[in-house]
């Protein structure tokens, strides 16, 4: 009997093993077929040679979520030397590893994508790589590096003349991420502005994924303000968009947040109904970030229902996932809940210790964010606000001039020939004034371009990060004085030579930070010159100093100097010579020719036009001479000499 039973057991076991082998073979065959199908698609994509990010993403479609297929694309792209394919595959692999909370692996793929993109000037791919690296650091509460990545991505994207769909999406991602950083600093008003900027872009390009993300983030603002009903509406709106695009990750995020609202509303049964299915989906996707969040929310709901043992078990699961992947915010949230459970279980000492640990961790996150970055964010916000105000003023002036011109045209049609001649003369006069005003506005924009402001603040930021308070305050004062002088100078056609040199001192101080204070800047003025009485066009020397810095000295390794020598050869002119010991114009032109991004000397052209207008009121016109300096037939710098007229035309005074 026993032998017969043993026979049947072995027989059924054999059937079972054969069934498993057949199923496995079938699945393996299907996987191989899919791989072969994608291999054909990858060959077709490489042959088509898509270069734009949008085109490549459309061609890959949903295959981008499959790491095996993306590795196939990467291998084939490397063999075929298909650079966009290499960058794209690395980005997609980085995103998938991030979604499974393998942050180190994700960072390695994305940094490889960034390196490839920079080397081959693939701007769209570079911007996406920077943003995705920022997302990794935001998940791990590494606010400093996250902020740097997103700001670099935003600055690069906004310099692009052609705003492709990919670039617009990336700008929206950067604004969205900035909003999240403001939100983490508890600056909800600023966060809402950033989210609304991103939302506007996503609406314009019809990106439902972006709409889902931003509605969810706006819900987070309402939740932070304890407006739980509005938060719930926003989260449910986000969930609708995620349902439309069939995004499982979106469902996990929204249901986690909705469950969290129900917990705060003391509706634990509703919370459990939403969160339990979310855990299964998060486990399936292997996204530890949302697994941790879901278990902690589940434990919080069970704690409210008095299911203490279950609550503790799930909170500890969430805490372990958070600790394994260094998710500081979730660690803090889990320890708070466990402290409450231990208090209920009659362990007040352990509860107090856990509570203190949670508070300390929460404060360390908050303090790290605030001390290192709140000032920087404020500076950027104020700079953007100031730029917008200047732009608004310029637009108002142009509108006023257009209204005046219309009035003159109407009057010209109604008046007699004599009156018409008078107004024709007046019209020409206004046109000349408008040209001068336009030059002044262009000059102001040249001095206060966003890159100069951003880079200056970024340099000052390094002193703040390195805790060099004295240097930070010193250069911040210099920067604020320079901006104030530029704004004042923009309202004046001419200023004294003394004021001009003072402004240039400030400008060189700020620019010298970015050269590690390696530049020896000085000036000498002849004793016969009264700098307070000699007038020059405002900010006339800045473009020449900028040229000397960026074309002459930026490529030189050491011993960098700029000297200004001011003399008066005769009564008609004051001569200003700007001398640098840079690499010379010929070498600079060769370097610039090989650069992918070239600096255009727009300011020099504007300055020549301004000097022409300035000279109209003097007996002589200005003179500009640029000389190459040589030492033993080797280029040793450049000398720019500007002869500015000083003898005014005597006008007849009218009674």
Phi first, then psi: give them for residue 219, nearest 5 degrees.
-60, -35
What are the tokens at 69? 């297929």
pLDDT above 70 (res 224): yes
Domain count, the chain: 3
Measured CA to CA, the distance from residue 521 to residue 439 in angstroms comes to: 28
340 plus 367 within the same structural domain? no
Q: How confident is the model at residue 450 (pLDDT cuts 50, 70, 90)?
A: low
Residue where a domain stops, chosen among 346, 379, 405: 346
471 plus 433 within the same structural domain? yes
Task: Give me the chain's average pLDDT, please.
Answer: 80
331 plus 369 within the same structural domain? no
pLDDT above 60 (res 652): no
Whether residue 314 lies inside any domain: the answer is: yes
Give the model's pLDDT for residue 347.
86
648 plus 598 within the same structural domain? yes
390 versus 469: the higher-pLDDT residue is 469
633 plus 565 within the same structural domain? yes
Give the model's pLDDT for residue 225.
87
Whether residue 54 lies inside any domain: the answer is: no
Q: How confident is the model at residue 645 (pLDDT cuts 50, 70, 90)?
A: very high
pLDDT above 70 (res 17): no
331 versus 436: the higher-pLDDT residue is 331
Whether residue 434 lies inside any domain: the answer is: yes
Mean pLDDT of 455-476: 81
Measured CA to CA, the distance from residue 242 to residue 207 in angstroms comes to: 11
Give the model's pLDDT for residue 476.
86
Measured CA to CA, the distance from residue 503 to residue 180 in angstroms comes to: 38
Instruction: For residue 242, give the nearest of 256, 231, 229 by alpha carbon.
Output: 256
CB 609 within 8 A of CB 439: yes
Give the model's pLDDT for residue 38.
82
Whether residue 640 lies inside any domain: the answer is: yes
Secondary-structure breakdown of the chain: helix, strand, coil percentages, each rounded to the nearest 5: 75, 10, 20
Give the model's pLDDT for residue 65.
83
Return all residues near 85 (Cβ < 8 A) that are at least 6 apart: 42, 45, 46, 56, 73, 74, 76, 77
Q: Which stretches of 308-416 are DSSP H helices? A: 308-324, 328-344, 348-414
Q: How confident is the model at residue 561 (pLDDT cuts 50, 70, 90)?
A: very high
Domain ranges, residue 461: 363-491
Give the model's pLDDT for residue 390.
47
Whether residue 487 lies inside any domain: the answer is: yes
Instruction: For residue 34, give the nearest of 62, 60, 64, 69 by alpha carbon.
Output: 69
pLDDT above 50 (res 286): yes
45 versus 604: the higher-pLDDT residue is 45
Measured CA to CA, the distance from residue 417 to residue 453 in angstroms comes to: 52
Mean pLDDT of 542-556: 85
Measured CA to CA, the distance from residue 61 to residue 267 in angstroms comes to: 40
pLDDT tens per residue across span 352-379: 887 788 777 776 665 554 444 544 544 4
Whether residue 367 lies inside any domain: the answer is: yes
416 plus 452 within the same structural domain? yes
530 versus 284: the higher-pLDDT residue is 530
Give the model's pLDDT for residue 26.
47
Give the model's pLDDT for residue 28.
47
CB 179 within 8 A of CB 147: no
Strand order, beta sheet including 519-525? 519-525, 560-567, 573-580, 634-645, 623-631
Whether residue 509 lies inside any domain: the answer is: no
Mean pLDDT of 277-292: 81
Measured CA to CA, the distance from residue 582 to residue 635 in angstroms comes to: 8
Per cent of the chain over pLDDT 90 is 19
340 plus 368 within the same structural domain? no
599 plus 560 within the same structural domain? yes
Angle separating helix axes 248-264 and 268-285, nearest 10 degrees: 150
404 versus 194: the higher-pLDDT residue is 194
pTM tops 0.75, yes or no: no
402 plus 532 within the same structural domain? no
CATH of the domain at 556: 3.30.565.10
Whether residue 72 lies inside any domain: the answer is: no
334 plus 380 within the same structural domain? no
pLDDT tens per residue across span 480-513: 888 888 777 767 778 899 998 998 898 888 888 8
pLDDT above 80 (res 251): yes
Q: What dihedral do alpha carbons 520, 526, 529, 532 form, nearest 10°? A: 20
Residue where a domain stops, chosen among 346, 376, 408: 346
Give the model's pLDDT for residue 113.
94
CATH of the domain at 340: 1.25.40.10
Residue where a domain stops, chosen among 294, 311, 346: 346
342 plus 374 within the same structural domain? no
pLDDT tens per residue across span 39-73: 888 888 898 888 899 889 888 877 888 889 999 99
pLDDT above 60 (res 6): no
Q: How confident is the model at residue 86 (pLDDT cuts 50, 70, 90)?
A: very high
Give the model's pLDDT for residue 487.
79
pLDDT above 70 (res 257): yes
411 plus 455 within the same structural domain? yes
pLDDT tens per residue across span 509-546: 888 887 888 899 999 999 989 989 999 988 888 888 88
């Amino acid at each position: 009997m026993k032998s017969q039973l043993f026979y049947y057991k072995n027989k059924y076991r054999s059937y079972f093993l054969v069934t498993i082998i057949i199923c496995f073979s079938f699945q393996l065959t299907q996987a191989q077929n899919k791989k072969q199908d994608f291999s054909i698609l990858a060959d077709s994509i490489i042959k088509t040679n898509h270069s734009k990010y949008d085109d490549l993403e459309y061609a890959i479609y949903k295959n981008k979520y499959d790491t095996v297929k993306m590795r196939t694309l990467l291998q084939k792209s490397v063999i075929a030397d298909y650079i966009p394919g290499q960058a794209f595959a690395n980005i997609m692999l980085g995103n998938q590893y991030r979604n499974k909370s393998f942050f180190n692996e994700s960072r390695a793929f994305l940094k490889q994508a960034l390196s490839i993109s920079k080397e081959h000037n693939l701007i769209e791919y570079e911007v996406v790589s920077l943003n995705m690296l920022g997302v990794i650091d935001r998940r791990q509460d590494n606010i400093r590096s996250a902020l740097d990545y997103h700001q670099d991505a935003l600055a690069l994207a906004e310099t692009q003349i052609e705003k492709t769909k990919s670039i617009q999406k990336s700008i929206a991602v950067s604004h969205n991420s900035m909003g999240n950083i403001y939100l983490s600093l508890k600056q909800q008003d600023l966060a809402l502005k950033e989210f609304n900027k991103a939302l506007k872009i996503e609406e314009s390009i019809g990106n439902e994924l972006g709409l889902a993300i931003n509605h969810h983030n706006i819900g987070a603002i309402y939740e932070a303000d304890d407006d739980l009903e509005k938060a719930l509406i926003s989260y449910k709106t986000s969930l609708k968009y995620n349902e439309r695009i069939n995004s499982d990750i979106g469902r996990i995020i929204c249901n986690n947040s909705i469950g969290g609202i129900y917990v705060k509303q003391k509706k634990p049964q509703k919370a459990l109904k939403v969160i339990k299915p979310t855990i299964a989906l998060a486990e399936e996707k292997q996204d530890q970030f949302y697994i941790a969040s879901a278990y902690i929310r589940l434990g919080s709901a069970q704690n409210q229902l008095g299911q203490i043992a279950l609550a503790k078990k799930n909170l500890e699961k969430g805490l372990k996932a958070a600790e394994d992947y260094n998710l500081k915010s979730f660690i803090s949230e889990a320890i708070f809940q466990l402290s409450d459970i231990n208090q209920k279980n009659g362990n007040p000492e352990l509860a107090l210790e856990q509570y203190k640990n949670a508070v300390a961790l929460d404060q360390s996150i908050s303090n790290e964010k605030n001390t290192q970055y709140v000032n920087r964010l404020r500076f950027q916000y104020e700079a953007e606000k100031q730029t917008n105000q200047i732009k608004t003023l310029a637009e108002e002036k142009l509108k006023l001039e257009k209204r005046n011109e219309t009035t003159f045209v109407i009057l010209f049609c109604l008046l007699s020939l004599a009156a018409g001649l008078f107004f024709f003369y007046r019209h020409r006069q206004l046109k000349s004034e408008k040209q001068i005003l336009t030059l002044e506005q262009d000059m102001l924009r040249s001095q206060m371009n966003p890159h100069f402001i951003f880079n200056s603040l970024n340099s000052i930021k390094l002193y703040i990060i390195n805790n060099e308070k004295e240097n930070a305050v010193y250069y911040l004062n210099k920067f604020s004085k320079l901006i104030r002088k530029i704004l004042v100078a923009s309202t004046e056609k001419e200023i004294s030579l003394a004021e001009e040199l003072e402004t240039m001192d400030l400008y060189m101080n700020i620019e010298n930070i970015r050269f590690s204070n390696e530049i020896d800047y000085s000036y000498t003025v002849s004793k016969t010159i009264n700098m307070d009485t000699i007038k020059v066009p405002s900010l006339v020397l800045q473009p020449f100093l900028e040229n000397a810095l960026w074309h002459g000295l930026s490529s030189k390794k050491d011993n960098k100097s700029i000297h200004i020598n001011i003399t008066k050869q005769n009564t008609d002119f004051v001569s200003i010579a700007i001398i640098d010991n840079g690499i010379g114009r010929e070498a600079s032109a060769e370097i610039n020719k090989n650069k992918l991004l070239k600096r255009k000397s727009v300011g020099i052209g504007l300055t020549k036009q301004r000097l022409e207008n300035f000279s109209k009121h003097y007996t002589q016109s200005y003179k500009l001479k640029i000389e190459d300096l040589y030492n033993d037939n080797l280029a040793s710098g450049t000398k720019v000499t500007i002869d500015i007229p000083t003898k005014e035309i005597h006008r007849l005074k009218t009674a």
